[in-house]
Amino acid sequence: MATLNRPGAPDGHICGIDTAMEVIGGKWKVLILWALHEHPYRRFGELRRLLPGITEKVLASHLREMEADGIVGRVSYDEVPPRVEYSLTEDGARLNASLEPLAAWGRERADRQG
Amino acid sequence: MATLNRPGAPDGHICGIDTAMEVIGGKWKVLILWALHEHPYRRFGELRRLLPGITEKVLASHLREMEADGIVGRVSYDEVPPRVEYSLTEDGARLNASLEPLAAWGRERADRQG
DNA sequence: GTGGGTGGTTACCCTGTGGTGAGCGAACAG
DNA sequence: CTGTTCGCTCACCACAGGGTAACCACCCAC
């Protein structure tokens, strides 16, 4: 990622929000986070079914980025057919928790607008 | 806007996060929010100076979107040279507050990585 | 041998977002 | 009479992120 390139701060970051936005900056990332929170330890195909509309390519690349960011864990079992399980890391769980107030704000706003 | 178009939910939204992400989905929006929180009632040029690297076009369009979303207020004084003051609405202030946990998560993560 | 399910990869295209640079209208300073 | 401040607007362009679709290796059931 690192679409953010803002001068004015040492590494292009101004406040902590930037760091967080970089990590969740992807069309489906918060939903993947959410899905893994509600349904821990899901397989690739299960996640795909939990997120109607996502394509395999995007799911795979998002998962790999989130894994690299340390918010998603991946365990691959050497079976046939292959089995891979994704889960939230501790950091990912904390990220998800810190998204809750934002979700509450969004829900309230959605309610107000009917 | 409205880059989010995800089937599976009535209006393309699955949880409240989506609504919030739509509102803050813009490269500089959270920073504008932050700047207006730390420096209330700023003028266009002041905001530009507070956000090194932003261009006038992007600042103008982001401000207009945020105004339409009801999180930023705009007051134009009929003077010469023109004077326009931007501020957070109550809803914007609450949005900003609900971003705080996320910012904390980001700060903690930035600290860990040095 | 054909189809299905597993978890992907690869190549290509398309749109939206953001960046660049110019201009504008009025007043005032030099 | 040129330059500056102020808050924009407009036309154009580049690029990355996401979407589309085909393909792969493997095994099993039919």
Tell me the per-residue pLDDT of A88-112, one tens digit each, with 9 for 90 and over. 999 999 999 999 999 999 999 999 8
CB burial readout B60-99, b (16+ within 10 A) else e: eebbebbeebbbbbeeeeeeeeeeeebbbbebbbbbbebb
Structure tokens at A114: 């009917």
pLDDT score of A6 more than 80: no
pTM of structure: 0.90
The C-alpha of A71 sits at a distance from chain B's nearest C-alpha, in angstroms, of 11
pLDDT of residue A113: 79
Please state whether strand C lies within 7 Å of residue B26 at its CB atom: yes
Please, what sign has the CA dihedral across residues A67, B15, B6, A24? negative
Asked if A100 is an interface residue toward chain B (Cβ–Cβ < 8 A), one would say: yes
Structure tokens at A51: 């997120």
Q: How many Å does it take to go from CA B94 to C1' D12?
A: 38
Mean per-residue pLDDT over chain B, rounded: 90
Please name each of the domains of chain B with its CATH number.
18-113 (1.10.10.10)
Q: Which nucleotide is nearest to B25 (CA to C1')?
A: C17
d(CA A65, CA A62): 5
Continuous H helices in chain A: 16-24, 29-38, 44-50, 56-68, 90-98, 100-112
pLDDT digits (tens, 9 = 90+) for B16-67: 899 999 999 999 999 999 999 999 999 999 999 999 999 999 999 999 999 9
pLDDT score of B80 more than 60: yes
pLDDT of residue A12: 56
Select from A51, A69, A89, A98 the residue whose CB has the most chain B CBs within 10 Å, as the one to mutate to test that interface: A98
Amino acid of residue B55 = T
Angle between helices A29-38 and B16-24 (to 10 degrees): 160
What secondary structure letter does DSSP report for A75? E
pLDDT score of A13 more than 70: no
Percent of chain A with pLDDT over 70: 88
The C-alpha of B76 sits at a distance from chain A's nearest C-alpha, in angstroms, of 27
